[in-house]
Structure 1
Amino acid sequence: MRLLNTITLKVIEFVTERPSYAILSHAWGSQEIVHQDTEAEGGAPSSIKAGWKKIRGSCALALKDGFDWIWIDTCCIDKTSSSELSEAINSMFRWYRETEICYAYLEDVPPLKYAPVIGFQDLTETFLGSRWFTRGWTLQELVAPRKVDFHASDWSFLGSKADLVGIIHKHTMIDKEALKGVGNLSNFSVWSRMQWAASRETTRVEDTAYCLLGIFDINMPLLYGEGDRAFRRLQEEILRTIEDYNLMAW
């Protein structure tokens, strides 16, 4: 597992023991900082890309909270290595579960200070309407961590998962117990877990399956290019371990 140092902005690999760390959850943009960017110019990510502001913002937030290390998917995984990418995606749920805190950055949500102007009800609707709540990958990033703090476009605090569990449950229909990030998701039926993901989208068709590996505690190799077969493989792997024939309706 690679972690980004919040002071030096260098990415370091930890093979065995690793320090406590924060995690960033976000909806990807078009100019994200990738692993190769962190190796340029002495380890500092490229300031040319728009994603640089996201790196700086999340590191500043983590450092303020006392964390020297943060995991950010865009730059802590070498996606040019298919084996590393596969290992990372199969480990990702565990990494989110073991983090001290997850910062959910909602780039399309204005800060709370504008609530008196636009109205608290409108701000709540904007929060729940964020692109972050529509993405497939952010499902596990919502349910796996014990603690999730939501931040607006300027990195100001919007609220914690614990504080907002009621409206998040109502909007996503994810069970409140699952949202707490402490129990075993096997306590929830396959049907329920599939329902959590039903309205979410991924850029690549294979990721519709791959983003659910941790939700179902499944490990399987990634084969980008296989298309819809990825979801059929996921179904087969689930059926090997869970007797739930409602799955075949998906």
Structure 2
Amino acid sequence: MRLLESDDAGGIRLTKDLPSDKIPPYAILSHTWGPDEEEVSYKDLEDGRAVSKPGYNKIQFCANQAERDGLKFFWVDTCCIDKSSSTELQEAINSMFRWYRDAAKCYVYLADVSTHKRNVDGSLAWKQTFLQCKWFTRGWTLQELIAPTIVEFFSKEGAYLGDRLTLGNDIHNVTEIPLDALRGNTLSNFSVEDRMSWVKKRKTTRKEDKAYSLFGIFDVQMPLLYGEGEDKAFGRLQEEISKVSKRKEKYDKVDTRCLSDLRSTNPRHDKKRIEDAKGGLLKDSYCWVLGNVQFQQWHGGDDQRLLWIKGDPGKGKTMLLCGIIDELEKS
């Protein structure tokens, strides 16, 4: 993954291709593409022609906003990928969801939303324009909306409009994506049919990309075969989703079996056996654990998770277990 950074002369340069374990915190840009000849490419940056392109304004915006947020590095899809390399492009598309997910912040630059326009009554007109902007109609922006932890929206002047949470109801009304998904709920909690429906009304320049843009939404990877057509691309995607579902089902069964084995003895019987062998419990010696945050989360939770207690031999795990059982029997 290559990143961008500002240089000492006020320009913008690419880093070398960084291994995944050496990537520093970075911001990432989400936007809609203009004509190819207006966007800044990898080659434009290498050849020093980037500043002359209209698309450079978006890159400069991202650099400035990242700096305001204390981030030295940032990423923009138009110029951080060498699209002349089919291998690099394939890797980038299969990694895209992860790159957006791992970004410290995602800036959505809306070229068709202005904060300078006003309604007849003098109020700002950007909200209605925001609801109708092109960004919500494109295929690739779906993962760019959902994957990052923080998504912030900006007008073409660079004015802050709000984030995915504060604008959540508006975004839900436009996209029909559930609020839980917009709030970061695990994607696997939503059915395949639900997730497929999120891209239904969206468009991509290349037909196959409508399927390829969903790789991260379904946590699958597969080769790009431009020219295969939309139907075949979705057919292959469905096959990969089916494989992932079967693997998950298999692992879930193993996990359930393991948990069942762990629960094969009654902790109360274990407590009696331990006390018979080791003597009684020192009064209140376990009470410190009642204020432990992890214990409180476990005790107050609705699910049936196991409480794991780990530590070196002789550190009192046995006595702690006995005390916890006493406490649970009181409640």
> Is the TM-score greater than 0.5?
yes
- Segments of structure 2 that go 5 or more residues without pairing to the other structure are 247-331
Tell me the SS of whatever aligns to 2:59: helix
Note the aligned Cα RMSD (angstroms): 1.7
Residue matched to 1:148: 151
CA separation of 1:184 and 1:6: change in aligned 2, threshold 3 A: farther
Residue 184 (str. 1) matches residue 186 (str. 2) = yes
The alpha-carbon deviation at position 168 of structure 1 amounts to: 0.8
Match for 1:162: what amino acid? L
- The residue that corresponds to 1:123 in the other structure is 126
Q: Within 5 A, what are the aligned runs for 1:92-241?
A: 92-111=96-115, 114-115=117-118, 122-181=125-184, 183-228=185-230, 229-241=232-244
Decide whether the 8 Å contact of 2:203 with 2:210 is kept in 1: yes
Tell me how far 1:119 sits from its aligned partner: 6.2
Deviations along 1:178-229, one digit per CA (max 9) or x if unpaired, are: 1123x32111001110111110000001101110111110100111121122
Unaligned runs of 5+ in 1: 244-250
Which residue pairs with 1:247 in the alignment? Answer: none
Matched with 1:248 is none
Q: 1:34 — aligned with what?
A: 41
Contact 2:41–2:50, Cα closer than 8 Å, also in 1: no
Contact 1:108–1:130 under 8 Å retained in 2: yes
Larger radius of gyration: 2
> What amino acid does structure 1 have at the position aligned with 2:29?
L
Give the counterpart of 2:64 among 60, 67, 72. 60
Q: Is the 8 A contact 1:101 1:149 kept in 2?
A: yes
Q: By how many angstroms is 1:6 displaced?
A: 3.3
Q: Is the alpha carbon distance of 1:14 and 1:202 closer, same or farther for their aligned partners in structure 2, counting shifts above 3 Å?
A: same
Q: Residue by residue, what CA displacement relative to the aligned partner does 1:157-181 show, whole Å, maximum 9, x if unpaired?
A: 1111111111111221111121123
Match of 2:268 in 1: none
**How far has the Cα of 1:17 moved from its partner?**
1.1
Distance, in Å, in 1 between the alignment partners of 2:13 and 2:114 is: 30
Alpha-carbon offset, residue 26 of structure 1: 0.2
Letter in 2 for 1:104: V
Using the alignment, how far apart are the partners of 1:22 and 1:218 within structure 2? 24
Determine helix, strand or coil for the equivalent of 1:212. coil
Q: Which has the higher contact order (CA 8 A, sep 6+)?
A: 1
Instruction: Spell out, residue by residue over 1:57-89, the C-alpha distance to the aligned partner (whole angstroms, 9 max, x if none).
Output: 211111121111101011011111111111111
- Structure 1 position 17 matched with structure 2 position 19: no
CA shift in 2, pair 1:188/1:227, >3 Å: same
- How many matched pairs? 238
Q: Which amino acid aligns with 2:236?
A: R
User: 3-state DSSP class of the match of 1:205?
Assistant: coil
* Residues 79-118 of structure 1, C-alpha deviations (whole Å, 9 max, x = no match): 111111111111111111111100000000011x544657
Q: Given residue 10 of structure 1, which amino acid in structure 2 is its aligned partner?
A: R
Distance 1:66 1:230 in 2: 40
User: What TM-score results when the alignment is normalised by the length of structure 1?
Assistant: 0.90
Deviation of 1:231 (Å): 1.5
- Deviations along 1:99-150, whole A, 9 cap, x unmatched? 1100000000011x54465765853221011000000000000001111110
- Give yes or no for contact 1:6–1:62 (8 Å, CA) kept in 2: no
Return the letter of the residue paired with 1:240: K
**Matches of 2:157 and 2:125 in 1, distance apart?**
18
**Paired residues of 1:90 and 1:214 also in contact (CA < 8 A):** yes
Cα separation, 2, equivalents of 1:129 and 1:151:
15
Which residue, out of 69, 73, 79, partners 2:73? 69
Q: Percent identity at matched positions?
A: 50
Q: Secondary structure at the match of 1:47?
A: helix
Name whichever of 97-106 and 162-171 sits farther off.
Answer: 162-171
